[in-house]
Amino acid sequence: MPDGYDVLLRDGGIAHVRPLSPDDRAALHELVDRSSDRSAYLRFFTGGRSTAHAYMDRLTGPGYPGRALVATVQGKLVAVVEYIPDGGGRRADLAILLDDAVHGHGLGTLLLEHVAVDAAAQGLSELTADVLAENQPMIRVLRDLGLDVVHRYDSGTVHLVIKVTPTARLRAGVEARDHEAERASLRPVIAPRSVAVVGAGRDPRGLGHRVLRNLLDGGFPGPVYPVNPNAAEVEGLACYPRVTTVPARVDLAVVAVPADLVLQVARDCAEAAVGGLAVLTSGFAEAGRRDAEQELLRVCREAGMRLVGPNCLGVVNTGARLNASFLPLSPSRGRVALMSQSGAVGAALLERLDVSSFASVGNKADVSGNDLLEYWEDDDDTGVIALYLESFGNPRKFARIARRVSARKPILMVKSGRTGAGDRAVRSHTAAAASPDVAVDALARAAGVIRLDSVHELIDAARLLAHQPLPAGPRVAVVGNSGGPEAMAADACEQHGLIVPELPAGLLRGGANAALGNPVDLTADAGAEELRAAVAALAACDAVDAVLAVYTPPFGSGLEETRRAFAAAARGSAKPVLACVVGHDGLIDGLVPSYAFPEQAVAALATAVAYARHRAGLLEPPVPPSAPPSAPPSAPPSAPPSVPPDVPPDVPPDVPPADVAAARALVAAELAARPDGRWLPPATAARLLRCYGVDLAETVEVDGPDAAAAAAGRTGLPAVLKAVGPVHKSDVGGVMLGLATPGDVRRAYEDMAARLGGQMTGGVVQRMLPGGVEIIVGGVNYPVFGPLLMVGMGGVAADLLADRVFRVPPVADPAAMVDELRCAPLLHGYRGSPPVDADALALQVARVGRLLEDLPEVAELDLNPVIVGAAGAPVVDARVRLAPCGPQPSPLLRRLR
């Protein structure tokens, strides 16, 4: 981190953390001078400051033996933390000095977290600190950090030994402290007490004027300050020439001035200590002016201001009567919190959804979906979170936050870009199948996020989840006045894995022509009261988890009376009631979501059922409702998608321990010799896989016909000969099976070498294994998304059948992952065939998942095929590609992206 990074403080302020530099000497002396006598005494155990000044000279002088970080706030150095190894390679002495002005802001805790992570990365196991017994605040900070601490008292001093090995308590503490800081930093933006509109003019067509008008028309209760150097008054309000001239503190400044003026406005806001900016102006990174956008962000970060945009619509908080946007409509209050990276999509969604709050993030220079998830998690007005994304800034952090939030509130996501071609440079079966969009799907599933294919599906699901209780199960009663749409609804239920059960006899009554099974067709003559009674009875029935009421107007009592009947039946119900009023989308009486077509209603209900299962811990996080149903996994949701490299990943208990140190040494040696990476030779790939206990068929590398014949004598006959070079060996004749004698092997090698030429690059010989089910197990590591694990139908049919399942490792239940394959019945005995060792396959999957998690340098891995037989699942062909990758920041390091 040569340039350092920005961090959020407990009160929402922003600090910059970076390594200590010799150039910091003067600033360190100033820090000592600003420190109170008591602070200096508690840090240096002496009165006066001469000892402190002398120490700062040593800290920045040549030969300093330790490692130190400093923190600045608004350009001023306010903290230094250091540790000095004791020479034994195990312990280091820890010390910290904070400016009195930042005490209580959480900066000390944050710096100690970072130092502990750094010390662990340097191979240390303990940090020690001597603290005066009267310095109880520092003792509490060290004890509450979340690390294991041992202490003893000695003559007024407390000697503390802090184990730097990360713990679950540390991770939980980091997460909680980050959450508190994020919420505090966004409060001036989403719930401001005062708003300035910079660029508010008299022209009704201007963006600034429209924002000002929306704030006034929406009844924002706090002061609103128009800022415009060319007007004394706008819309009856006194107008100020610059933000710095506004007579009171501004929480939120909405900036709607030409692009070339935005930076100066941001500097004025920094000078005026504004809490946050929403920059509506376009003409930044999206127009090729990335440097200008970075400078805007730098100004905001240094001043401690959060930035929404630029190139955005603004922000809305209906509970606070805040409409700080230039939208042409007034959003209605509801339970859905909405973020959109696209202004056009955001505006369209706001026309159709009632929201608690809305943020149009535009270019996402600063505030992103990750930040907003943190805020909305504890927002009492928000019951559902809806996201429209065009890109991920930090997908690993998104997954960590979303997994926690989705346990409390549903997160619906539409992510554009499903049809991207992916990285065409990759060549393995796994990498060709695992496009970035597949990685997004796996990431969403691991995080409990419901990814939907369209904005329309998002609206449908959000209406149901925001206004109705979650279903306890998949059993649906369909009732209405028209058999055709009801039959369509029943068909859609089956397609989505929902159940339309038989109803108890005598539950309902109807006319002579009524069909009282399920679906319940009360016929077109049914009036509103008859429909109301039927819906209410079904909602009270123990055999039903949800009720779908279907009505085709104008029959019966007519549209409006029937709609009121549905609302009356749903009011007070503990089960979800939704409606299909054919041809009419909307919300009935602010309570019952209504859909124009049966398929819409059922898709939304399937989403709710999947989310309810996720919440109950019965299934892994939900799949999109448009996906075909699959066998339900039998275990709780999979483990979090991102586990820091310094924290052992959670693996199934029956997975033997891996020799991680040997694997990392092998990878480091390979990349030292070939910095650009390469496909590993078969023997090297086998060594790496064996570090993780992967079961491999005996394989002998050969470089000619005679060596191949001799190898066959060692491995046993019949033998298999394979070319090393081609990725898809079968496509080019690079595999010869059933070679009965050493002579057959010799001739096969000669033939293959003649056909393939230089493409062959040697061969391998194996004994031909008994038959079994051919499976592929593989993985890729994306620099942004991280590792992705795949299992699928293997052999030459791998690409043809495309029967694959992806997960973000580590996987809590690899057997459940395998069972999602369409070919899974082949493993358990199909049409009289004997079952094979599916447990051995699951163990192979778990081992590969751990390898991918531990070794981000493994860019691609293909085990194809894995022959799953009666006793074992050996790999008969393995390919591994290494590639250099930069270190991923630990999730234990709180930082702004």
691 and 709 housed in the same domain: no
474 and 549 housed in the same domain: yes
Non-local (6+) Cβ contacts of 334 within 8 A are 318, 353, 354, 355, 356, 466
* Rg of the chain over all Cα atoms, to the nearest angstrom: 32
Q: State the pLDDT at residue 696.
A: 93
763 and 727 housed in the same domain: yes
Q: State the pLDDT at residue 852.
A: 95
Last residue of a domain, one of 165, 195, 212: 165
746 and 891 housed in the same domain: no
485 and 556 housed in the same domain: yes
610 and 736 housed in the same domain: no
682 and 543 housed in the same domain: no
Q: State the pLDDT at residue 1.
A: 52
Q: State the pLDDT at residue 653.
A: 47
- Residue 247 belongs to some domain of the structure: no
- Residue 868 belongs to some domain of the structure: yes
Q: Which residues of the chain carry a pLDDT beneath 50?
A: 421-427, 618-651, 653
Non-local (6+) Cβ contacts of 829 within 8 A are 835
**Cis geometry, peptide bond prior to residue 865 (ω within 30 degrees of 0):** yes
Q: State the pLDDT at residue 654.
A: 58
Structure tokens at 791: 């299992």
Q: State the pLDDT at residue 2.
A: 60
Residue 279: CA count within 13 A, CB half-sphere: 32
| Segments in 448-557 forming alpha helices (H) | 455-467, 483-495, 528-539
* Alpha-carbon gap, residue 32 to 852, rounded angstroms: 48
Q: State the pLDDT at residue 432.
A: 59
Contact present, 383 and 465 (Cβ < 8 Å):
yes
Structure tokens at 616: 């109950």
CATH number of the structural domain spanning residue 118: 3.40.630.30
% of the chain at pLDDT higher than 90: 79
Q: State the pLDDT at residue 192.
A: 98
Q: State the pLDDT at residue 112.
A: 97
CATH number of the structural domain spanning residue 838: 3.30.470.20
Last residue of a domain, one of 596, 616, 636: 616
Q: State the pLDDT at residue 628.
A: 33
Q: pLDDT tens-digit profile of 34-48?
A: 999 898 888 888 877
- Residue 432 belongs to some domain of the structure: no
653 and 586 housed in the same domain: no
714 and 681 housed in the same domain: no
497 and 553 housed in the same domain: yes
46 and 96 housed in the same domain: yes
Q: State the pLDDT at residue 365.
A: 96
Q: State the pLDDT at residue 645.
A: 36
Number of domains in the chain: 4
Domain with 80 in it? 5-165
706 and 654 housed in the same domain: no
Contact present, 430 and 780 (Cβ < 8 Å):
yes
- Residue 114 belongs to some domain of the structure: yes
Last residue of a domain, one of 768, 796, 817: 768
